[in-house]
Structure 1
Amino acid sequence: MKKYIILIIAFLFSALCLNVFGQTKSYPFEVLKTGKGKQSIIFIPGFASSGEVWKDTKIAFEKDFTCYTLTMSGFAGIQPQPNPSFENWKNGIAAYIKDNKIEKPLIIGHSMGGGLALAIAADYPDLIGKIVVVDALPCLAALSDPSFKSKENNDCSATVNQMTDMNETQFYDMQKQMMPRLLQDSSKLEIVVSWSVKSDRTTFGQMYCDFFNTDLRDKISTIKCPSLILLESYFINLKPAIETQYANLKTADFKYANKGLHFIMYDDKDWYLAQLNTFLKS
């Protein structure tokens, strides 16, 4: 009996040591890994979206690539983490690439995910093979105010309070009214709204405020890798202003969709997949 007690104590001590000293590193997102290709793609969804937004893209490419599909913490039902920020999320994705020895991945990011793709490629230029930015700008605020300057120590409490003070019905109605401005495919409307509704309100408010205060216009000058910039059809009317924002990204290749709105992967799916296929093979 004494022998078994000693074995149990040894087992429990080993489990404790494993938990304390060998615990899995925490990242500000959940990851779904699929596919078996030698080359890797990392998919970063946009603001408050689930990694499910990349479903059709993954189906098209996971037979040839290993795919890492992220859903950021606090979005679309994923458990939130303390102190979310654009900077922490950028560094968290870069750390995941390094820790898992993912060799020169292609990053595809939509909206805020496209901003993260730009920031990672700028701050870690030797880490990334290629980037695809799906309807994102280096500085969203500068589209309406070209002289915009980021605030240091930006206080996002007012935005967070505005989001958290809404009841469920008010928040749902807000998202339901806003989403048709971003998504033309009505069959996808309810699922995209549901991702927002399932998101943690504090994370929602903090990241909305933080991303709107982000300016990458100078930083993107350090990007070395090929960069495909896919933009919604309406942005052809704002081409000078948009491409001025991207002036420091010397590797940029701009393509404007034929139809649809912000969710290009839904609204102009065939065109979008054709652009990706050409870029991946180039």
Structure 2
Amino acid sequence: MIARLFIAVTLAASAPALAADAPPPAAQANRFAATLVPAERFEIGAVQVERHGKGGRPLILIPGLASGSWVWQGTARQFLGEHTVYIVTLPGFDGRAPVSGKQMEAAQRALAQLIDTRKLVKPVLVGHSLGGVLALSLAAQRPQAIGGVVSIDGLPVFPGAEDLSPRQREQMAQQMARRMAPADQRAFAAQQQDYMRGTGVVDMARADELARLSARSDPGAVLQYMAETFAMDLRPALPKITAPVLLIAPYFEADASQHELSAETKKAYYAALIEAAPKAEVVTVAPARHFAMIDQPEQVNDAIRRFLKTL
């Protein structure tokens, strides 16, 4: 039942809005826009990288769907004093042009290239949502190169799709992409606002500000990333991960109680999906929706800090 619930909620929250419902452009400053000045900004493969701080174990922060470096501003501020922090922006997101071919594969190659060219020793990958999926995938592909993985609401298989066959997941991914395709950029902006208000964060003012930032992404690339992620199942590869894994599960009772879903039930569900990873732990953050680092930055940063101390 819980699997069906997750997929139903996701589809409902992601349904396209009418163009007429799109919010008007905002002239005021956006408090979540990227304001940290990086020590260095450069391109690696298909991604843009911003480096902050120096020394310590390297951290690579990977945003989720339609997000840019702005989503990690608070996290970077907390850790740049003790770590070298690399924030990546994936192609197709936050005003960057998409790449041809498979988006996820291009992102994985770029992350591997970042580690190799900068000679990063056992970096910790911190990913949100789709970024968490990329982190888990790279840790399975290159287990000796990764020191740890923190995934914020990014699972090895799309919740609700774990019992589907690969062909069924692929077919459903294409159906989802067709259903969600916005008519134009204005409709995409409305879609992002609906998503942020329904699933993204608890506070509606924050939701609207974040939606204005995520609307800067390319709609076609967003759909392609979604379809590719939905079709993936990393569970068979999880035993290859030798690094510790921390999975952060956000929980918001006002949403979950409608479906009689407790924090313990959700945590157990996440633990079941990640259990094949040899050193995996699940931590609940509440009250928080999908962007847990926006809703509960202190809880998320504390969880990351505790995890880093165990490495």
Question: Shared fold (TM-score greater than 0.5)?
Answer: yes
Shift of 1:161: 6.1
* Residue equivalent to 2:160: 144
Distance 1:118 1:145 in 2: 17
* Residue equivalent to 2:292: 264
Shift of 1:219: 0.8
* Residue equivalent to 1:114: 132
* Residue equivalent to 2:267: 239
Task: Write the letter of the residue equivalent to 1:175.
Answer: Q
Task: Write the letter of the residue equivalent to 2:277.
Answer: L
Residue identity over aligned pairs, in percent, reads 27
Comparing 218-227 with 85-94, which one deviates more in the overlay?
85-94
From the superposition, tell whether residues 75 and 27 of structure 1 become closer, same or farther in structure 2 (CA, over 3 Å).
same
Question: Would you say 1:217 and 2:245 are equivalent positions?
Answer: no
Q: Which runs of 5+ in 2 are unaligned?
A: 1-41, 253-262
Task: Write the letter of the residue equivalent to 2:84.
Answer: T
Task: Write the letter of the residue equivalent to 1:61.
Answer: F
Shift of 1:92: 2.0
Question: Would you say 1:198 and 2:216 are equivalent positions?
Answer: yes
Distance 2:192 2:93 in 1: 14
Number of equivalences: 257
Question: Would you say 1:166 and 2:186 are equivalent positions?
Answer: no
The CA RMSD over aligned residues, in Å, is 2.3
In terms of Rg, which structure is larger? 1
* Residue equivalent to 2:54: 36
Task: Write the letter of the residue equivalent to 1:137.
Answer: L
Q: Which runs of 5+ in 1 are unaligned?
A: 1-23
**1:41/1:105 contact within 8 Å kept:** yes
Kindly indicate whether structure 1 or structure 2 has the higher relative contact order, using CA contacts under 8 Å at least 6 residues apart: 2
SS in 1 for 2:167: coil
Shift of 1:189: 1.8
Alignment of 1:1-282 (within 5 A): 26-140=44-158, 143-151=159-167, 154=170, 166-180=183-197, 181-234=199-252, 236-282=264-310
**1:149/1:215 contact within 8 Å kept:** no
Distance 1:112 1:74 in 2: 13
Shift of 1:163: 6.0
Task: Write the letter of the residue equivalent to 2:65.
Answer: F
SS in 2 for 1:38: coil
Distance 2:43 2:185 in 1: 34
Task: Write the letter of the residue equivalent to 1:72.
Answer: L
Shift of 1:120: 0.5
> TM-score when scaled to structure 1?
0.83
Distance 1:271 1:25 in 2: 32
Shift of 1:240: 3.2
